Amino acid sequence: MLRRLHGLPGVVLALGLTVVAVTGAVLSLQPALDRATAPMVPAGTSVAGLAAQVAARHPGISAIRQRPDGSLTVAFDDGDARGVERVDPATGTGLGPYQVSETTRVITSLHRSFLAGDAGRAAAGLGALAMLALSVSGTLLLARRLGGAGALLRPIRGTPAQRWHGELGRLAVAGLVLSSLTGLWMSAGTFGFIPEAQGITSPVTASGGAPAPVGTLAALRSAPLAELRELSFPDPADPTDVFTLRTAAGETRIDAATGAALAFAPATTLEQINDLVRTLHTGRGAWLLGLLLGLASAAVPVLGATGIMLWARRRAARPRVAANAPARGADTVILVGSEGNSTWGFAGTLHAALTAAGHRVHIAAMNDVGTAHLAADRLLILTATYGEGYAPASAKSFLSRLARLPGRLPGRPPVAVLGFGDRNFPHFCRFAQEVADALETKGCPRLLPMKRVDRRSSQEFAQWGQDLGAVLGHDLTLSHVAEPPKTVPLMLAGRELYGEAVGTPVAILRFEAPRDPRTGAPGRLPSFEAGDLVGIVPPGDTMPRFYSLASSTRDGVLEICVRLREGGLCSTFLHALAPGGAINAFIRENPAFRPTEGRTPLILIGAGAGIGPLAGFVRANAAGRPMHLYWGGRSAASDFLYEHELAQHLAERRLTSLKTAFSRDVEGGAYVQDRIAADAPRLRELLKQGAQILVCGGRDMAEAVTRALEPVVRPLGLDLATLKSCGRYVEDVY
Amino acid sequence: MKFVLPAVAATAALVAPTLAEARQVTFETALKRYGGNGAYVVLYVTDAAGAYKGTLWMAGGKAKYYRHLSDWQRASGGRATEIDGITGASIGSGKTLKITLDLADAMIDAGYKVHVDTSVEDGMDNPSEVVVPLAATASGKPFAGKGYVKSLTVTF
């Protein structure tokens, strides 16, 4: 619902809102420029003083006004000359004619009414309402995505368009809400929904005496010039007419002969609100606020463009399922829980592969679940998890619908649940787990144990396909790439091989950007940090494999550690690559797996090739922040990756301590988790100082580390889940 | 472009009770090319003694700006009933407002005068910037204004 409110209307309104926002941003510069150029009103000057100075030059003044930007103007009709002139507030001398430039006037009209009169004014008012709705719904969507209102400031993950949209949106939202609320108020005023102040309504008659010089009038002498809004002069042809003085305090009628205040109407609360709203909206009289609001408005075109990109991408990701079998009579039913449609893409691939294998397959959104679906031979559920473990859009009502189905499901089909999520979130695939549990409670047997797919991993999806094929008794090849990435070519510049002697060959590979073929200039690496991922597409394949980066762009090389896996297409390719050989690669940011800012200690834990990003963190630690590395290999003699570099880092204090464990060493082999358990008191001390733990390596190692760490942290009143949720325990696990 | 309003109901006091005693009068107010936002323009009538008799047309819809039409405001009291049903859009730079209505014969050559007040945002307020007598001798002659009005022509 929220997404529907935010998405399509945003796309439709993007152009109009861009016009209002860009013109608003341009206008926001005016108050700052005015402040820089308009002379200041000196303290202690009275309205009478200035009026007398101006009256000495102009016999026929009709009004003196202080504009909201602080400049003073006088409208005069001296018979031979008439016009509006700017006036120096200190001396009353003329500063040339007051003229709003044609450009400013057109931009203002565009901003207020799209140059289309009252219809345009109404459209601009509705635009303000729409901006308000988009700001609020966008904030709610972002909060939901990041895991609740308290998480709004967390780093935003995703594609560049998603990040720009989210980052700019949350920076600008306060300004946009203020601008649209005040704009709405002003629009309501324009259309008469907010009553206008009446001022003095009772007739006021002058004494009729001969007019005294304006500088001598008592009521004007006591009015400070700084508070002046407008002083209109009496009609010289009408002896009963009076001065009307308007200030922030209210409206006063003043006798031209006696200088006495004949009537006073104080400014109403509503008028004061109107003034405040006008100041907040235009920034006139509050130039700094004006500039900030202008900056927020300037974000609107970018928000519009990225929003349209995101919307189009979501639409494009919606699968066009060919030959969807009817629910009745289908042997296999696929139910999909998707927020941004990417899970639909995986489901579409699964549908096609199963259909090709001869199944009658029906695919539907999880929200549509009904008894017909549960009469199939098997039920396959593919679902994402949204934010802090919530159901995604197309599965919002699944659990409640399932609960309302009859206690005993008609067929109780065997179920396989495949969860999609991001391992960096504390509630990785929690909704998928809830679905699996709910179906188990309903008595559905398990076709396959629930599996989790991390960050749309094509490999994990393909692996699950093999498992499913094995259960179904036929081959099932699922080849799905979520978004074909744009790759850049890189060249192998150097390699070091370790671990051959112990049967686990691990290569440290360093790549460089190829030189420009024409100029021979050094190529440019894409932008990345240690801990980010590089996706490499092996030749003859479409599915990228991901490796954690051991270097950052600043190092001038792209460095990874690759363990040779038996039958592994990509690792075999990389290990066979000769210097000068080329790969196609792309970067996927991994901002969750990064040291926190500051100088609190870091505990780095890894095994095997998992040392890559950890070594990268150490290498970048020129500031000498306390870093403690725990690493496990097989043999000190054979696969001690980065041995010499780490020794140098220790000497240079980039690395504070190093504990290694080698499982195959003759004298009492040990694993990294053993070192952790043995070091419990020291680790507790570091955690008390606020240390962050970063773990990189295989899944088995990570689980063993978790088991070893739980008893370490428990005496501190902590647990890993808590540390995880506040980013003090992060993993990069494969 | 001209704003043509073929039959206009002016304030009741001015409109002839029956057509037999009435004459069709055309008021054509041409504005200068002053190059600003639309001008608020009000046409109203005073009698031989200078007393306000009624409003013919108010060009400009937002009441909060009417105080800038200061002569009209003072003469009429600025009451909404004075312009009920005879209000239109403000008049753009260089445009012409043309209104036609039936006035009682008795008002012609009897000292009545048509006043025009104008005002433009960020510009001048021009109370009674042009005043034309409702007299046979003035019919069809353009009178220049001192503010935004290039000419006011009253024809009957």
> What are the residue ranges spanned by the domains of chain B?
2-155
Query: Is the pLDDT at B1 greater than 50, yes or no?
Result: no
Chain B's closest residue to A110, CA to CA, is: B37
Does the beta-carbon distance from B70 to A118 stay under 8 Å?
no
SS3 state at A25:
helix
C-alpha to C-alpha distance for A427 and A440, rounded to whole angstroms = 20
Count of C-beta atoms within a 10 Å radius of residue A566: 6
Does the beta-carbon distance from B63 to A77 stay under 8 Å?
no
One-letter-per-residue 3-state SS of B83-143: HCCCEECCECCCCEEEEEEEEEHHHCCCCCEEEEEEECCCCCEEEEEEEEECCHHHCCCEE
Does the beta-carbon distance from A82 to B61 stay under 8 Å?
no
Element (H, E) at A111: helix A102-113
Chain B's closest residue to A78, CA to CA, is: B146
Q: Regarding the domain with residue range A318-472, which homologous superfamily does it belong to in the CATH classification?
A: Flavodoxin domain (3.40.50.360)
C-alpha to C-alpha distance for A233 and A571, rounded to whole angstroms = 89
pLDDT of residue A145: 75
Does the beta-carbon distance from B63 to A196 stay under 8 Å?
yes
Task: Give tens-digit pLDDT for A252-304.
Answer: 999 999 999 999 999 989 989 998 999 999 988 888 999 999 999 999 999 99
Strands (E), A436-521: 451-454, 488-498, 506-512
Q: Which fold has domain B2-155?
A: Immunoglobulin-like (2.60.40)
C-alpha to C-alpha distance for A601 and A71, rounded to whole angstroms = 57
Among left, alpha and beta (phi > 0; psi -120 to 50; other), residue A323 is: left
Residue with tokens 């999909």: A336
- The alpha carbon of A581 is separated from its chain's Cα centroid by a whole number of angstroms, namely 38
Does the beta-carbon distance from B70 to A75 stay under 8 Å?
no
pLDDT of residue A9: 83
pLDDT of residue B12: 52
One-letter-per-residue 3-state SS of A563-588: ECCCCCHHHHHHHHCCCCCEEEEEEE
The identity of residue A588, as a single letter, is R
pLDDT of residue A86: 92
CB A696 within 8 A of CB A593: yes
Domain limits, chain A = 2-36+108-195+278-282+289-312, 40-89+199-267, 318-472, 488-588, 602-733
C-alpha to C-alpha distance for B8 and B23, rounded to whole angstroms = 13
List C-alpha distances in Å: B64 to A126, A198, A199, B68: 22, 9, 11, 9
Does the beta-carbon distance from B124 to A232 stay under 8 Å?
no
A4 φ/ψ angles, rounded to the nearest 5 degrees? -65, -35
A97: buried, middle or exposed (CB in 10 Å: 19+, 13-18, 0-12)? exposed
Does the beta-carbon distance from B123 to A62 stay under 8 Å?
no
Q: What's the CATH number for A602-733? A: 3.40.50.80
C-alpha to C-alpha distance for B67 and A639, rounded to whole angstroms = 89
CB A65 within 8 A of CB A104: no
CB A6 within 8 A of CB A137: yes
pLDDT of residue B5: 40
Tell me the torsion sign for CA atoms B101, B107, B110, B116.
negative
Chain B's closest residue to A83, CA to CA, is: B124
Chain B's closest residue to A241, CA to CA, is: B74
In sequence order, the 6+-apart residues with CB closer than 8 A to the CB of A526 are: A488, A553, A586, A587
- The residues pairing with A384 across neighbouring beta strands, listed in sequence order, are A420
pLDDT of residue A408: 57
In the predicted model, residues of chain A with pLDDT beneath 70 are 1, 157-158, 317-320, 387-388, 407-411, 424-426, 482-485, 668
Chain A's closest residue to B91, CA to CA, is: A117
Chain A's closest residue to B62, CA to CA, is: A190
Nearest to B37 among A77, A105, A199 (CB): A105
pLDDT of residue A359: 94
Instruction: Give the residue from A322, A399, A393, A402 showing the smallest Cα distance to A363.
Output: A322
Question: Edge-to-edge, what's the strand order for the sheet holding B149-155?
Answer: B2-5, B96-104, B22-31, B149-155, B142-143
Residues in chain A whose Cβ is within 8 Å of chain B = 62-63, 75, 77, 82-84, 98, 100, 102, 105, 109, 117-118, 189-190, 192, 196, 199, 232, 235, 238, 241
pLDDT of residue B17: 55
* Exposure b/e, A65-80, CB count within 10 A at least 16 = b: bbbbbbbbbbbbbeee
Count of C-beta atoms within a 10 Å radius of residue A8: 12
Nearest to B123 among A84, A109, A232 (CB): A84
| Contacting residues of A for B51, CB less than 8 Å apart | none
- The alpha carbon of A424 is separated from its chain's Cα centroid by a whole number of angstroms, namely 17
Which letter does DSSP use for residue A390 in this model? B
Does the beta-carbon distance from B35 to A102 stay under 8 Å?
yes
Asked, colleague to colleague, whether A318-472 and A602-733 share their fold, the answer is yes
CB B15 within 8 A of CB B102: yes
| Contacting residues of A for B145, CB less than 8 Å apart | none
CB A601 within 8 A of CB A627: yes
* Exposure b/e, A402-422, CB count within 10 A at least 16 = b: beeeeeebeeebbbbbbbbbb
Nearest to B125 among A62, A118, A189 (CB): A62
- Here the ipTM equals 0.79
pLDDT of residue A353: 93
User: What is the nearest CA distance from B16 to chain A, expressed in angstroms?
Assistant: 31
User: What is the nearest CA distance from A106 to chain B, expressed in angstroms?
Assistant: 9
Q: What's the CATH number for A488-588? A: 2.40.30.10
Residue with tokens 């001798």: B137
Instruction: Give the residue from A496, A565, A558 showing the smallest Cα distance to A533.
Output: A558
pLDDT of residue A667: 72
| Contacting residues of A for B123, CB less than 8 Å apart | 84
pLDDT of residue B3: 42
User: What is the nearest CA distance from A138 to chain B, expressed in angstroms?
Assistant: 35
Does the beta-carbon distance from A235 to B122 stay under 8 Å?
no
